[in-house]
């Protein structure tokens, strides 16, 4: 179980009864949710506890919310002790913010210097949301609403955040539907609840979602319009414990990679399918990216439940014979119609790309209007991808990665780990990692033959016996087979040697 980090976030309204709220854009270079818009906020730090203890009714989450808002956008929700008024922008706030960001000043000292105190009444609690299990980095975030104090302005200083802007929920959701911005899933949920409303009404509007969460129902996770991610527990190859299923489409809806075998997880997924059908998005087909057990566990259950066919590449169908009946083949280049697109300019579709290497029948799917790539196991956000012979083929895998590089992908949605808005970097890093491993293998090879076991021990030091070690040996074998084909390595009874 990963650690869950406490955090706070503020939905800041531009004024009393204003529909506009402040959104920040995370820098595209950040690994976690880089390039996504979100509400300002961040982690609780140890100093927040001390401040909270000194003021009745104030919690650590309140302090973290107020401090993060000041650090990220320069708005200070603190009041003068004597008058109860807010400080204004002219009162050395930018200089103090700079010192705070440079760790030259603590937030407690800043408050003391201006003779300010914090009032829990300035923040209205909305909901606590926990990052779903797709991410190893998980936050338990307390969301609040607040109003911009008179005389202050919100401003992002480029760094971890690249920009900030005031938008009504309706305007921001429209930009999102048009594919012009990426927005973090909890922010989408909050903006949906804010549609046509004022921030003051948010807590009340969020009541149904709070009830849903209290009942243990998974709140929808939208990473792009009409793209719902459903992360489910599936014991795959270490370190992956979850597989992301995706529900994609408007008029026609496809379920990609329903992985779980566990009955409880299957029931969760069937519940999601029922909710979606009730919302007018009945399932059209189950689609498998490849044949591995952590991608197919609920395929038959879901297909029967919804009365829809199972679709996959012919090679995947062969490998699943006797286990999962594949009703229709998907050939490279096939287009799966998704119905009228959320952006309102015609229809949208998924294009099937045959990307062998990890598995012989592996398919990835490209959606051209939002430039999404459903990557299956081509890349993982948790580790490098396992290439295990005889099904795994390193040369084919590298060719497939290079082919994906030719697509102008904006958002990469993998089967394991969180989506990435830096697909070019992710693909480049995957290739670079393989190149590094190949160089290590070439250095380990000698003119005298060495067994695979010995080479694996040298390349993957410190692995204990068991599945992980077997996988390491298979990865080395994949590398050796690639070198053999290139005429750089030779196999004989005693092992592998350099040519
Ligand atoms: Zn796989």
Q: What is the whole-number distance in angstroms between the Cα of residue 314 and the centre of ligand 1? A: 16
How many C-beta atoms surround the C-beta of residue 143 within 10 A?
Answer: 27
Q: What is the whole-number distance in angstroms between the Cα of residue 380 and the centre of ligand 1? A: 10
Q: What is the whole-number distance in angstroms between the Cα of residue 459 and the centre of ligand 1? A: 23
Rounded Cα distance between 100 and 111, Å, is: 11
Q: Provide the phi-psi class of 37: left if phi over 0, else alpha when psi is between -120 and 50, else beta.
A: beta
> What pTM, to 2 d.p., does this model score?
0.93
Q: What is the C-alpha radius of gyration for the chain, rounded to an integer number of angstroms?
A: 26
Q: What is the whole-number distance in angstroms between the Cα of residue 413 and the centre of ligand 1? A: 15
Rounded Cα distance between 53 and 42, Å, is: 20
Q: Tell me if 27 sits within 8 A of 85, measured CB to CB.
A: no
Rounded Cα distance between 251 and 272, Å, is: 17
Q: What is the whole-number distance in angstroms between the Cα of residue 292 and the centre of ligand 1? A: 5
**C-alpha closest to that of 314 among 324, 329, 295, 299:** 329
Q: What is the whole-number distance in angstroms between the Cα of residue 319 and the centre of ligand 1? A: 13
Q: What is the whole-number distance in angstroms between the Cα of residue 499 and the centre of ligand 1? A: 32
**C-alpha closest to that of 58 among 49, 45, 70, 69:** 49
How many C-beta atoms surround the C-beta of residue 261 within 10 A?
Answer: 15
Q: Tell me if 270 sits within 8 A of 302, measured CB to CB.
A: yes
Q: What is the whole-number distance in angstroms between the Cα of residue 236 and the centre of ligand 1? A: 8
Q: What is the whole-number distance in angstroms between the Cα of residue 392 and the centre of ligand 1? A: 10
Q: What is the whole-number distance in angstroms between the Cα of residue 385 and the centre of ligand 1? A: 8
Tokens, residue 423: 């697909």
Q: Tell me if 191 sits within 8 A of 172, measured CB to CB.
A: yes
Q: What is the whole-number distance in angstroms between the Cα of residue 290 and the centre of ligand 1? A: 7
DSSP 201: G
Tens-digit pLDDT string for the chain (499 aa): 458 999 999 999 999 999 999 999 999 888 888 999 999 999 999 999 999 999 999 999 999 999 999 999 999 999 999 999 999 877 899 999 999 999 999 999 999 999 999 999 999 999 999 988 778 788 999 999 999 999 999 999 999 999 999 999 999 999 999 999 999 999 999 999 999 988 889 988 888 888 888 887 778 899 999 999 999 998 766 567 899 999 999 989 999 999 999 999 999 999 999 999 999 999 999 999 999 999 999 999 999 999 999 999 999 999 999 999 999 999 999 999 999 999 999 999 999 999 999 999 999 999 999 999 999 999 988 888 889 999 999 999 999 999 999 999 999 999 999 999 999 999 999 999 999 999 999 999 998 999 999 999 888 887 777 777 888 899 999 999 999 999 999 999 889 999 8
Q: What is the whole-number distance in angstroms between the Cα of residue 294 and the centre of ligand 1? A: 7
Interacting residues of 497 by C-beta distance below 8 A, sequence separation 6+: 445, 446, 447, 448, 449, 450, 489, 490
Q: Tell me if 168 sits within 8 A of 333, measured CB to CB.
A: no
Rounded Cα distance between 493 and 499, Å, is: 16
Q: What is the whole-number distance in angstroms between the Cα of residue 391 and the centre of ligand 1? A: 11
Tokens, residue 302: 């879901």
Q: What is the whole-number distance in angstroms between the Cα of residue 362 and the centre of ligand 1? A: 9
Q: What is the whole-number distance in angstroms between the Cα of residue 265 and the centre of ligand 1? A: 19
């Amino acid at each position: 179980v990963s650690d869950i980090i406490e955090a706070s976030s503020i939905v800041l309204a531009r004024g009393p009864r204003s529909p506009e709220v402040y959104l920040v854009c995370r820098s595209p270079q950040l690994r976690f949710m880089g390039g996504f818009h979100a509400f300002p906020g961040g982690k609780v730090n140890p100093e927040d506890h001390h401040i909270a203890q000194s003021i009745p009714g104030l919690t650590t989450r309140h302090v973290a919310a107020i401090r993060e808002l000041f650090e990220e956008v320069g708005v200070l929700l603190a009041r003068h002790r004597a008058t109860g008024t807010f400080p204004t922008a002219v009162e050395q706030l930018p200089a103090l913010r700079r010192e705070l960001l440079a760790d030259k000043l603590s937030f407690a000292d800043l408050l003391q210097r201006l003779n300010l105190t914090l009032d829990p009444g300035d923040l209205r609690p909305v909901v606590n949301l926990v990052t779903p299990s797709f991410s190893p980095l998980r936050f338990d975030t307390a969301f609040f609403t607040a109003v911009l104090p008179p005389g202050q302005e919100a401003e992002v200083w480029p760094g971890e955040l690249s920009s900030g802007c005031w938008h009504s929920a309706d305007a921001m959701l429209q930009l999102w539907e048009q594919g012009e911005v990426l927005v973090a899933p909890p922010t989408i949920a909050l903006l949906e609840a804010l549609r046509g409303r004022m921030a003051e009404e948010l807590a009340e509007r969020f009541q149904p979602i709070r009830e849903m969460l209290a009942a243990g129902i998974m709140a929808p996770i939208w990473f792009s319009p009409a793209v719902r991610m459903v992360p489910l527990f599936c014991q795959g190859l270490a370190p992956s414990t979850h597989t992301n299923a995706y529900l994609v489409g408007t008029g026609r809806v496809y379920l990609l990679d329903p992985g779980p075998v566990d009955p409880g997880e299957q029931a969760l997924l069937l519940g999601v399918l029922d909710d979606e059908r009730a919302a007018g998005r009945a399932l059209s087909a189950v689609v498998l990216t490849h044949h591995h057990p952590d991608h197919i566990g609920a395929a038959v259950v879901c297909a029967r439940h919804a009365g829809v066919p199972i679709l996959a590449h012919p090679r995947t169908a062969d490998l699943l014979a006797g286990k999962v009946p594949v009703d229709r083949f998907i050939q490279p280049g096939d287009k799966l119609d998704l119905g009228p697109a959320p952006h309102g300019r015609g229809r949208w579709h998924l294009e099937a790309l045959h990307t062998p290497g990890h598995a012989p029948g592996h398919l990835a799917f490209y959606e051209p209007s939002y430039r999404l790539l459903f990557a299956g196991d081509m890349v993982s956000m948790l580790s490098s991808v396992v290439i295990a012979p005889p099904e795994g083929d390193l040369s084919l895998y590298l060719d497939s990665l290079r082919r994906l590089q030719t697509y102008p992908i904006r958002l990469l949605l993998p089967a394991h780990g969180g989506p990435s808005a830096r697909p070019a970097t992710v693909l480049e890093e995957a290739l670079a990692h393989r190149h590094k491993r190949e160089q290590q293998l070439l250095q380990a090879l000698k003119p005298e033959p060495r067994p695979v076991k010995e080479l694996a021990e040298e390349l993957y030091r410190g692995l204990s016996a068991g599945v992980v070690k077997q996988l390491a040996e298979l990865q080395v074998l994949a590398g050796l087979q690639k070198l053999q084909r290139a005429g750089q390595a030779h196999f004989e009874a005693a092992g592998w040697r350099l040519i």
